[in-house]
Structure 1
Amino acid sequence: MTSAGRQRFKLLALMAVFAMPLLIAWVMVEWRVGIPEQRTAHGELEPNIPPLLEWPLREPRPEHEEGDWILAFDCSTACEERADRWWRLHRALGREAPRLTRLRIGAANGPLPGEILGQWDEVPTWQRDGQLWLLDPRGEVVLGYTGDVDPGKVLDDINHLLRINSDNPMEAELSSR
C-alpha cells in the first residue's frame, strides 16, 4: 500500500469512528433495538385525583411539615395491618424518613410514630378500599397503588423520587451521576 493509500485509509477510519455512533443510534431508534421498554414507577399515575387540599377530609384537617412528601392510605379495612406495613416501610427509608409523612385516613385508634390521622367527611368517588397514594410536597398525587401492592415496590418508587427531588441541589447533582 502506498503512502497516499494509507492516508486515505486513516481518513476513512477516522470518519467511521465518528459516524458509527450516529449510525448505531439511528438503527436503535428506527428499529427499537436495545431500547428498554420497562418503566421505573410501580404505581399508576393518578391525574384525576385532586390535590390534598381539595380532599373531603373532616375538620380540623391534618397538618404536615411543609416540604414533606406524603404517603396517604385508606384505612377503612384491615387497618392495623396496613398501618403497620406502611410504618415499617417508613422506617426502611432510613435517613430519608423525615422527608415523608404518613397520612392514615379512616383510623379508629391513635397514630403510630411519624403518622397523622384524617377522616373522610364524605367518601370521594375516586377512593377505593385500602388504596395508597404518594403525594409530592405541594399535595399533588404522584402515584396511586392498590391495597395489595408489594411494599418493596412502593419503597423503590419513594427512594427514587426522594433521590431525584433532593432538598440539596448539589446532592441531587451527585446522585444523578
Structure 2
Amino acid sequence: MIVSARVKLLALMAIFALPMVVAWAMVTLQWGIPEGRTAHGNLDVELPMLGEWPIDQFHKEDASDWVIVYDCGQQCTEDADRWWRLHRALGREAHRLSRVRIGGDGDALPGEHVAHWQQQPDWTTDGRVWIGDPEGMVMLEYPSNIETALVLDDIEKLFKMNPEPEFSPLDESSRALSVEPAEETRHES
C-alpha cells in the first residue's frame, strides 16, 4: 500500500497539533484540570510579615531560608522535638529551613532559635505552626493538631517548586582576596 506524500504530511501535522488542541480544550472547557489544592495547611493567611511580629527577636540562619515558626504551648518539649525531627527529615535540604520557637522555658534544640511574645496577638493559639518564605511572608498556617508528615510534605513541595539557586552571591566575608601580581625583577648583566 502506497501512502501519498500529502497523507504523510497531514499525519505529521496532526501529531504535532493534537496536543495543542487538547490543551486548549482543557483550559477552555475546564476539562481534566484538578480543582482541589494540594497544601495541607491554610493558604489564605493574612498575617503581618514575620519581621513585624510582636516578638523580642526574629532570627534566620540565612537570608534565603524558609522558616517554620511555632507557638510553643503546654506541650513545649514534645512540640520542639517534633519540629526538630521534621527538620532532620528534610535531609540534604535541611539547610534551607530555619526553625523559630516562640515561647517555652527549655533550651533551644540544635538549629532552633527561641523568641518570646512581647504581646501575644489574638490570631495565635498554643501549638499553631506557620511556614514563611525567604522574604518573610507567611505562606501556610497549621493548627496545633496537624500531622507532622503533612507539614513535611508541604515543605518538600515548596522546596521543589522554589529550587535553591545554583550559585548564591558572595558576601564580603567570603570574597576571595585579590592578589597583586608580583613585580618582575630585572637583573642587568
TM range (shorter): 0.7 to 0.9
CA contact (8 A) 1:135 1:141 kept: yes
CA contact (8 A) 2:69 2:101 kept: yes
Q: Tell whether 2:23 aligns with 1:25.
A: yes
Aligned partner of 2:116 among 115, 119, 122: 119
- Residue aligned with 2:98, SS: strand
Matches within 5 A, 1:74-85: 74-85=71-82
Aligned partner of 1:66 among 62, 84, 92: 62
Matches of 1:47 and 1:161, distance apart in 2: 16
AA paired with 1:149?
A: I
Which residues of structure 2 form unaligned runs of 5+?
A: 168-189
CA contact (8 A) 2:45 2:141 kept: no
CA contact (8 A) 1:46 1:141 kept: no
Q: In the superposition, relative to structure 1, how do residues 106 and 33 fare at CA in structure 2: closer, same or farther (>3 Å)?
A: same
Q: In the superposition, relative to structure 1, how do residues 146 and 16 fare at CA in structure 2: closer, same or farther (>3 Å)?
A: same
AA paired with 2:96?
A: R
| Aligned twin of 2:11 | 13
Task: Give 1:150 shift.
Answer: 1.4
AA paired with 1:163?
A: K
Aligned partner of 2:91 among 76, 94, 105: 94
TM-score, normalization by structure 2: 0.76
The root-mean-square deviation of aligned C-alpha atoms, in Å, is 2.4
- Residue aligned with 2:130, SS: strand
CA contact (8 A) 1:134 1:142 kept: yes
Percentage of pairs with the same residue = 49
Equivalent residues, number: 166
Q: Which has the larger radius of gyration?
A: 2
TM-score, normalization by structure 1: 0.80
Q: In the superposition, relative to structure 1, how do residues 129 and 14 fare at CA in structure 2: closer, same or farther (>3 Å)?
A: same
CA contact (8 A) 2:43 2:141 kept: yes
AA paired with 1:86?
A: W
How big is each residue's C-alpha offset from its partner over 1:24-73, in whole Å with a ceiling of 9 and x where there is no partner?
22332233322223423222224421112211113xx1432232221100
Matches of 1:166 and 1:17, distance apart in 2: 33
